Amino acid sequence: EGRGVFFFANGDRYEGQFRQGLCEGEGVMFYSDGSIYSGQWANNVRHGRGKLSFPDGEEITGEWDKGQYLTDWSKLAYQGDTANLPNCNLLFCNAGPGKYTYGDGSVYVGDFYNGMPEGSGTVYYASGNRYEGGWKQHTPHGRGVMYYNNGRIVGAIWDFGKPIKKLFEQGESEGPTPIPIDRDAQVKIWAVVVGAATYTHMPPLRYTDDDAYQLYAFLKSPEGGALPDEQVRLLIDEQATRKNILNAMRSVFLRADENDVIIFYFSGHGLQGAFLPVDFDGYNNQLKHEEIKALLEESKAKHKIVLADACHSGSLLSMKTPLQIALKRYYEAFEQSSGGTALLMSSKGEEYSLEDGGLRSGIFSHFLVLGLKGAANQNGDDLVTIQELFDYVHQNVRMYTGNVQTPTLTGIFDPNMPVAFVREAATAGKP
């Protein structure tokens, strides 16, 4: 009872009145993200009159009911006549109201600024969701409410598509279907291989699909681990959409247990901080590097390898050895490695990845596959490690492109993490 201060485990701090050990009455909550709520409380949630201030200076004052902000959310929708709006796909809408249709069929009606959808508007998503409120850079920004097609409603302060502070929520979140982990004492390799060549809004690439097929064939071969169908997913061209890639990564990588290896390969266009699936329309459907990182972190796998042949992207033994013994040695090498996450990219963040008509391949992917097939096995132990693979690819790509393209290897990982074993002579396949 009375006044006091309470520190929450997540970093929040409450100063104010208490009743029966709960925040109740007048009080101030200092949130760990820098937001501050000052006002009335009941049963540990905002209840009554109060003011919520955000780090950027924006403030919301009003009534709260059991933690929900009370306002007329319908006022955030575009209020004008939608029937006679100019078609801003055909006309340059410098300012004022307009209508714009995105590549996936989603429709925006509302304010425009400098020819772009920006301001207050309503978005009818192709998925059946509807958003009303602030809009900027083709995504929810500012105060707005999302009406999901499953009946869920979320009113929030949005920061370029992310609800950074939820003010109102109704209905249950569907959430992703849990993926059961395939627990096994043995080491297993799980892989998703993507080759995006034919784009609607970008120049087509000539060899990215072939590169993906080559790596897929390698992973299916004894040299690459002899992966069964349920452990590897191949997405080529029209299959290589943002949704399909994320779904494949989730359904494959989350099955891995603490002994396993996951491999993600992407060959296609890229921008700073993102890979571009085939349904990239110039604005939407980027595959952010942060999203890939989040999925990698969610997986229980001990070893995580990303191989990317995209602009700005910043398994084998002697023929004399029986195949079963060779594969056994390859998988045992994973057990001896301390694991980690390794990201082998085709170029620095400011560089472009090149294709070559003579090689009929992306230059990075060409030397990547050669290295995996044994050319990178420099010490002759019939195992190709991630460090050996990088050294080989880096040297040959730099030499072939006249130092124009520079592959990179980043992450926290064991440099002795195996990526291939060599069935034939360790020098086989060298260019």
Which domain covers residue 166, as residue numbers?
Answer: 75-170
CB-CB contact of 419 with 372 (8 Å): yes
CB-CB contact of 276 with 268 (8 Å): yes
Please indicate, yes or no, whether residues 254 and 385 belong to a single structural domain of this protein.
yes
The pLDDT assigned to 354 comes to 37
Has residue 175 been placed in a domain? Answer: no
Q: Report the CATH number that the domain containing residue 61 is assigned in CATH.
A: 2.20.110.10
Please indicate, yes or no, whether residues 20 and 155 belong to a single structural domain of this protein.
no
Q: Report the CATH number that the domain containing residue 364 is assigned in CATH.
A: 3.40.50.1460
Three-state DSSP class for 26? strand
From 27, 47, 70, give the residue that closes a domain: 70
Has residue 48 been placed in a domain? Answer: yes
How confident is the model over 40-49, as a mean pLDDT?
A: 91
How much of the chain exceeds pLDDT 70, in percent?
Answer: 80
Of 132-136, 165-169, 310-314, the range with the highest mean pLDDT is: 132-136
The pLDDT assigned to 428 comes to 38
Please indicate, yes or no, whether residues 344 and 382 belong to a single structural domain of this protein.
yes
Please indicate, yes or no, whether residues 113 and 214 belong to a single structural domain of this protein.
no
Identify the H or E element spanning 215: helix 208-220
Please indicate, yes or no, whether residues 125 and 57 belong to a single structural domain of this protein.
no
Higher per-residue confidence, 313 vs 21: 21
**How many domains does one find in the chain?**
3
Please indicate, yes or no, whether residues 285 and 417 belong to a single structural domain of this protein.
yes
Has residue 428 been placed in a domain? Answer: no
Helices then strands, each counted (H, E), the chain: 6, 27
Distance, in Å, from the CA atom of 16 to the CA atom of 28, rounded to the nearest integer, reads 6
The pLDDT assigned to 368 comes to 79
Confidence at 178, pLDDT banded by 50, 70, 90 = confident
Average pLDDT, the chain: 78
Please indicate, yes or no, whether residues 63 and 149 belong to a single structural domain of this protein.
no
Has residue 182 been placed in a domain? Answer: no
Give the residue from 193, 198, 221 showing the smallest Cα distance to 317.
Answer: 221
How confident is the model over 16-27, as a mean pLDDT?
A: 92
- Residue 218: CA count within 13 A, CB half-sphere: 28
Confidence at 26, pLDDT banded by 50, 70, 90 = very high
Distance, in Å, from the CA atom of 284 to the CA atom of 360, rounded to the nearest integer, reads 30
Has residue 227 been placed in a domain? Answer: yes
The pLDDT assigned to 175 comes to 54
Please indicate, yes or no, whether residues 66 and 141 belong to a single structural domain of this protein.
no
The pLDDT assigned to 98 comes to 93
Give the residue from 195, 207, 237, 198 showing the smallest Cα distance to 355.
Answer: 207
Has residue 222 been placed in a domain? Answer: yes
Please indicate, yes or no, whether residues 374 and 402 belong to a single structural domain of this protein.
yes
The pLDDT assigned to 42 comes to 92
Of 139-148, 149-158, 201-210, the range with the highest mean pLDDT is: 139-148
pTM: 0.49
Region of residue 222 (left: phi > 0; alpha: psi -120 to 50; beta: else): alpha
The pLDDT assigned to 344 comes to 56
Q: What is the pLDDT of residues 97-107, one digit of tens each?
A: 999 998 778 89
Of 113-127, 206-220, 282-296, the range with the highest mean pLDDT is: 113-127
Region of residue 225 (left: phi > 0; alpha: psi -120 to 50; beta: else): left
- For the cut 60, the answer to whether the pLDDT of residue 319 exceeds it is no
Give the residue from 414, 428, 416 showing the smallest Cα distance to 383.
Answer: 416
The pLDDT assigned to 125 comes to 87
Please indicate, yes or no, whether residues 66 and 89 belong to a single structural domain of this protein.
no
Distances (CA, A) of 309 to 53, 186, 286: 44, 30, 16
Contacts of 217 (CB under 8 A, 6+ apart): none
How confident is the model over 47-73, as a mean pLDDT?
A: 82
The pLDDT assigned to 132 comes to 93
- For the cut 70, the answer to whether the pLDDT of residue 52 exceeds it is yes
From 70, 87, 116, give the residue that closes a domain: 70
Please indicate, yes or no, whether residues 221 and 195 belong to a single structural domain of this protein.
yes
Has residue 430 been placed in a domain? Answer: no
CB-CB contact of 278 with 240 (8 Å): yes
The pLDDT assigned to 396 comes to 87
CB-CB contact of 144 with 162 (8 Å): no
Mean pLDDT lowest for which of 110-114, 132-136, 331-335, 387-391?
A: 331-335
Please indicate, yes or no, whether residues 405 and 279 belong to a single structural domain of this protein.
yes
- For the cut 50, the answer to whether the pLDDT of residue 347 exceeds it is no
Has residue 388 been placed in a domain? Answer: yes
CB-CB contact of 123 with 135 (8 Å): yes
- For the cut 60, the answer to whether the pLDDT of residue 321 exceeds it is no
Q: What is the pLDDT of residues 231-286, one digit of tens each?
A: 999 999 888 899 899 999 999 999 999 988 888 888 888 777 788 898 887 667 88
Q: What is the pLDDT of residues 353-372, one digit of tens each?
A: 434 444 444 677 778 778 88
Give me the phi and psi of 116, to 5 degrees please: -120, 150
